[in-house]
Structure 1
Amino acid sequence: MVNPDEGRGGLYVELSLTGPERAHLRQLAPGPVWFAEPGTDSEADARALAAAGTALGNPRADRVANAPGLKWLQLASVGIDDYLGLDWPVLGRRLTVTNLGDAFADPVAQSCLAGILALHRGIDRLAGLRAEGSWAKSDVRPRLRLLTGARVLVLGRGSIARRFAELLGPFGCPVTHFARGSGDIRTLAELDERLPGFDVVVGLLPGTPATSGLLDARRLALMRPGAVLVNAGRGSLVDEEALVSELASGRLGGAVLDVTGEEPLPAGHPLWTCPGVVLTQHTAGGSTDESARVVDLFADNWRRFHAGSPLRNPVQWSRGF
Structure 2
Amino acid sequence: MATTGADPQRIGRELDGAVVTVDPALPSAVREEVEEIIGRPVGAGAGPRVHVGPGLPRLAAGERLLWMHSTNAGVDALLRAHSPWPPEALLTRTVGRMGERIGQYVLAWALAELQAIPGFLRQQEARTWNRLPTELADGTLAVVFGTGSIGAGIGAALRRCGIRTVGVARTPRPAPGFDSVLALGDPTGPHGPSAELTAALGAARWVVDALPLTPGTADLFGPALFGAMAGATFFNVGRGATVRTEALAEALEQGRVAHAVLDVLPEEPAPPASPAWDLPRTTLTSHSAGPTTAADITADFRTAWQALRAGRLPALTVRTAAGY
| TM-score when normalising by structure 1 | 0.80
- Please give the residue correspondences for 1:1-321 in structure 2 after superposition, counting only pairs within 5 Å: 1-2=7-8, 3=10, 4-6=12-14, 8-14=17-23, 17-33=26-42, 53-60=49-56, 63=58, 68-85=63-80, 86-88=82-84, 91-93=86-88, 95-101=89-95, 103-124=97-118, 126-127=120-121, 133-138=125-130, 141-182=131-172, 184-186=181-183, 187=185, 188=187, 189-190=193-194, 191-224=197-230, 226-248=231-253, 250-286=255-291, 290-321=293-324
Which runs of 5 or more structure 2 residues have no equivalent in the other structure? Answer: 1-6, 174-180, 188-192
Q: CA RMSD in A?
A: 3.0
- Cα deviation for residue 317 of structure 1 reads 1.6
**Whole-Å Cα distance in 2 between the matches of residues 103 and 65 of structure 1?**
35
Number of aligned residue pairs: give it: 297
Q: Secondary structure at the match of 2:160?
A: helix
Deviation at 1:319?
A: 2.0
Q: Deviations for 1:251-281, whole angstroms, at most 9, x for unmatched residues?
A: 5221121111111111143433534223221
Q: Deviations over 1:58-89 (max 9, x none)?
A: 1158x479883220101112211013333447
CA distance in 2, matches of 1:155, 1:110: 17
**Letter aligned with residue 242 of structure 1:** A
* 1:21, distance to aligned residue in structure 2 (A): 4.0
Could you tell me how far apart the structure 1 residues matched to 2:276 and 2:53 are?
30
The residue type paired with residue 201 of structure 1 is: V
CA distance in 2, matches of 1:282, 1:257: 8
Looking at secondary structure, tell me which structure has more helix per residue: 1
Q: Percent identity?
A: 28
Going from structure 1 to structure 2, the CA distance change for 1:67 and 1:244 (only over 3 Å counts) comes to farther
Q: Which has the higher contact order (CA 8 A, sep 6+)?
A: 2
CA contact (8 A) 2:96 2:300 kept: no
Alpha carbons 1:153, 1:176 under 8 Å: kept: yes
Unaligned runs of 5+ in 1: 35-47
CA distance in 1, matches of 2:59, 2:206: 40
Cα gap change, 1:296/1:257 in structure 2, threshold over 3 Å: closer, same or farther?
same
TM-score of the two chains, using structure 2 as the length reference: 0.79
SS in 1 for 2:202: helix
3-state SS of 1:168 partner: helix
Residue pair 2:111, 2:137 contacting (<8 A) in 1 also: yes
State the shift of 1:193 in Å: 4.9
AA of the residue aligned to 2:232: A
Report the 3-state secondary structure (helix = DSSP H, G, I; strand = E; otherwise coil) of the residue aligned with 2:166: strand
* Residue type at the aligned position of 1:120: L
> Taking structure 1 as reference, are residues 24 and 277 closer, same or farther at Cα in structure 2, changes over 3 Å only?
same
